Chain A
Amino acid sequence: MTNRRNNITEKIGFGILTLCLIVVVLIIVVIFTNIIINGHSAISWDFITKAPTDGMTKGGIMPAIIGTFFVTVITAIFSIPLGMGCAIYLNEYATQNMFTRLIRISIRNLAGVPSIVYGLFGVMLFVEFMHLGTCILASGLTLSLMTLPMMITASEEALKNIPMSFREGSLALGATKWQAIRTNVLPYAIPGMLTGTILGLSRAAGETAPILFTGVAFYLPYLPKGLFDQFMALPYHLYIMATQHHDITLVRPLAYGTAMVLIVLVFMMNLGAIILRYRLRKNRKE
């Protein structure tokens, strides 16, 4: 009797847990299909390659795509070396002590700092103190601070996966510590680092709040020519088209189109990272 009741409870319980996963998957499916169904008709060659025209009611989003690309590149230039450096310190040089504990606590807390607070910090430090003004460089720097914790965690994970024997072999042959790291650790860790790096950059490419006051522009008739120019960005463009434009209903299709380009861009970056990681795992198992 109790056995049968237990069996029924178990079936119901498992059913509920399965339902939870189904709900999560459904949410993703709904988001993607909604954007793609409404957005695909706006996508055309002109939409990708032309600038907005007629008070942003017509034309394309090319300046926003270019702006997002450049700001992501700047983010990568600053955050990848700093993230890797910190990870190398934590995993290769540091011993477990108060100082490294403090570093780890800082990393975890930086990861939890709201993106708008990074924006405020960027305004104060880069725009005002360093007199960069609102520009693509200030935005890139702000975004690289925001992605730094992700970069460090991912790089450290990759370093941890390199067997100790790789380092020992090199040291035993008389290499210095840095030589051992450079020749026997880093080359094998870099693909793993790359995975986390791509994920971090995809986050940066989709972020709006940190660039809001540090350099992104509503509309620009020209492309950024240097590091000290303002720029347009895809996520901010979507925000404007969805809420700030003077005729929101008229530009709704363009907003959907922008959302689709953004979501596809970020999805591709993530998919790339996931495939790369899957391959790495498979190689390691073999």
Chain B
Amino acid sequence: MGSGNCNDSENKLSTRNKLSLSKKVKEASIHGCFLFNGLLVILILIGIFALLVWASIPAFKEISIKEFLFSFNWNPTSYVKPSYGILSMLVSTLMVTIGAMIFAVPISIGTAAFISDIASSRVREIAKPVVEILASIPSVVIGFIGITLVGPYIAKIFNLPDGLNAINGSILLGVMALPTIISLTEDALKGVPKSYTEASLALGATKWQTIIRVRIPAAASGIIAAVMLGMGRAIGETMTVLMATGCANAMPTSFTDSVRTMTSAIAIELGEVAYGSTHYYALFAVGLALFLITFAVNLTADIIFNRRPKL
């Protein structure tokens, strides 16, 4: 980092030249402004967490935490006895996420390996922006594609009345996770020292053997972090699953079932629910659970990434 250098030279300067007092005050207050700006980021993260907790408290006065976490039954509008179990949503979320990873991970690693190790510099110059373009497509457009293009094919292949189910959601989420995993995996591969590759080639390994047995294993922790970040993205994606998975409120039993994930439950129900009701606050509790899950996934990715052997 150059910032350390910059600070030192500035400190020396300010002791040598006597700055006028007003100038010093001005500099200090500017410094203070930027410091506050940095602090703001931490405050926002804590603020999101605190506000979600605060908004969930009224819900947990009515609902036991045990029911919330371990019941499969989410039926807040029941006339008999409303129930607030998030387990079926949680399973739905995990199902579409795992489904997405099953095909996104191999394709992403393959593409990243191709771009970083095999492609000529010209192909690379074109391939990287193309991947970025994929990242830029709004999730609502991907969801629309799920309804109009992917859905009918799934309905035909699996002989279903409609194709709005977990498979559809998985495919779309996989597509959305591709750019994240590709670009981070590529970075990880780029970070593998040249000496590793050269040593492997010098020992008579082919280029392919070098990629598979030396470069990818050496970049493993970076790749795992990339996959986890892609997963975090998939867990938190809203519009795509809202549009393409059918959102049936029930415990899914197979990938051809319609599923309602945590994100789509919030998106559907928050618009319909009475303000200030237990149901209203329960949705914030779902949001809190979602926040904690993605936070854990991202933090784990961060730790794995930072613990990687410094090559």
Q: Which residues of A are in contact with B by a Cβ distance under 8 Å? A: 6-7, 9-10, 13-14, 16-21, 23-25, 27-28, 30-31, 34-35, 38, 82, 85-86, 88-96, 99-100, 102-103, 105-121, 123-125, 145, 148-149, 152, 160, 164, 167-168, 171-172, 174, 176-178, 199, 202-203, 205-209, 212-213, 235-236, 238-239, 242-243, 252, 255-256, 259, 262-263, 266-267, 269-270, 274
The A interface, classified by DSSP as helix, strand, loop or mixed, is helix
A116 with B110, Cβ < 8 A, contacts A28-B130, A110-B45, A164-B2 known: no
Among B30, B37, B138, B236, the residue within 8 A (CB) of A178 is: B30
- B-side interface mostly: helix
Query: CB within 8 A of B118: which of A14, A34, A121?
Result: A14
Across the two chains, which residue of chain B brings its CB closest to A265? B138
Residues of chain A within 8 A (CB-CB) of B26 are: 176, 178
Contacts of B38 in A (CB 8 A): 85-86, 89-90, 94, 99-100, 103
Docked pose: A266 CA to B209 CA in angstroms: 40
Q: B223 in the interface, Cβ–Cβ < 8 Å?
A: no
Q: Are B107 and A23 in contact (CB under 8 A)?
A: yes
Contact B10 A177 (CB under 8 A): yes
CA–CA, A125 to B46, complex, Å?
A: 13
Whole-angstrom distance from the CB of A200 to the nearest CB of chain B? 11
Whether A112 and B111, one on each chain, are in contact in the complex, defined by CB atoms closer than 8 angstroms, is no
**Cα distance A262–B271 when bound, in Å?**
24
Q: Which of B75-83, B142-150, B191-199 contacts A (4 or more CB under 8 A)?
A: B142-150
Question: Which residues of the partner chain B approach A172 to less than 8 Å between Cβ atoms?
Answer: 13
Q: Within B276-300, which residues are at the interface with A (CB < 8 Å)?
A: 283-284, 287, 290-291, 294-295, 297-299
- Looking at B26, B141, B233, the one whose CB has the most chain A CB atoms below 10 A away is B141
Which residues of chain B come closer than 8 Å to A114, judged between CB atoms?
235-238, 263, 290-291, 294
B33 at interface, CB cutoff 8 A: yes
Q: Is the CB of B1 within 8 A of A86?
A: no
For chain B, the bracket of interface size reads 35 or more
Chain A residues within 8 Å of B238, by CB: 114-116, 208-209
CB distance from B94 to the nearest CB of A (A): 15
Among residues of B, the one whose C-beta sits closest to the C-beta of A116 is: B238
Known: A89-B38, A106-B42, A116-B266. A242 touches B139 (CB 8 A): no
Q: How long is the Cα–Cα vector from A7 to B270 in the complex, in angstroms?
A: 59
Q: Is B47 an interface residue (CB 8 A)?
A: yes
Inter-chain CA distance A206–B42, complex, in Å, is 26
B6 on interface, CB distance cutoff 8 Å: yes
Q: B114 touching A262 by the CB < 8 A rule?
A: no
Chain A residues near B19 (CB-CB < 8 A): 176
Query: In the docked arrangement, what's the CA distance between A270 and B128, Å?
Result: 13
Are A109 and B299 in contact, with the CB atoms below 8 A?
yes
Q: What are the residues of chain B within 8 A of A99 when measuring CB–CB? A: 38
Are A121 and B4 in touch, CB under 8 angstroms? Answer: no
- Within the complex, the shortest CB–CB distance from B55 to chain A, in Å, comes to 6
> Please, which residues of chain B bring their CB within 8 A of the CB of A243?
147, 242-243
Residue of A nearest to B131 (CB): A24
Give Cα distance in the complex from A6 to B205, angstroms. 9
Q: Are A13 and B208 within 8 A (Cβ)?
A: yes
Can you identify 8 A-B contacts, CB atoms within 8 angstroms?
Answer: A9-B206, A17-B114, A34-B149, A96-B3, A109-B299, A112-B298, A117-B290, A208-B139
Residues of A within 8 A of B302 (CB): 105, 108-109
CA distance A160 to B114 in the complex (A): 28
- Given known pairs A95-B3, A206-B140, the reply for A116 and B111 (CB within 8 Å) is no
Query: Which chain B residues border A125 with CB–CB below 8 Å?
Result: 47, 51
Within the complex, what minimum Cβ distance (angstroms) separates B157 from chain A?
Answer: 17
Nearest CB on A from B140, distance (A): 4
Contact of A124 among B55, B235, B291 (CB under 8 A): B55
Tell yes or no: B226 within 8 A of A by CB. Answer: no
> Which residues of B (129-161) have their CB < 8 Å from a CB of A?
129-134, 136-145, 147-149
B40 CB-CB contact with A under 8 Å: yes
Return the chain B residue nearest A176 by Cβ: B27
B9 at the interface (CB under 8 A from A): yes
* The residue from B34, B236, B239 contacting A93, defined by CB atoms under 8 A apart: B34
Q: B141 touching A6 by the CB < 8 A rule?
A: no
Nearest CB in chain B: distance from A22 CB, A: 9
Residues of A within 8 A of B45 (CB): 106, 109-110, 113
Determine if A20 and B52 form an interchain contact, defined as CB atoms under 8 angstroms apart: no
Say yes or no: B48 contacts A121, CB within 8 Å.
Answer: yes
**Residue in B44, B54, B138 whose CB lies within 8 Å of A148:** B44
Decide if B308 is an interface residue (CB 8 Å cutoff): no
Most chain B CB within 10 A, of A88, A168, A178, A267, is at A178
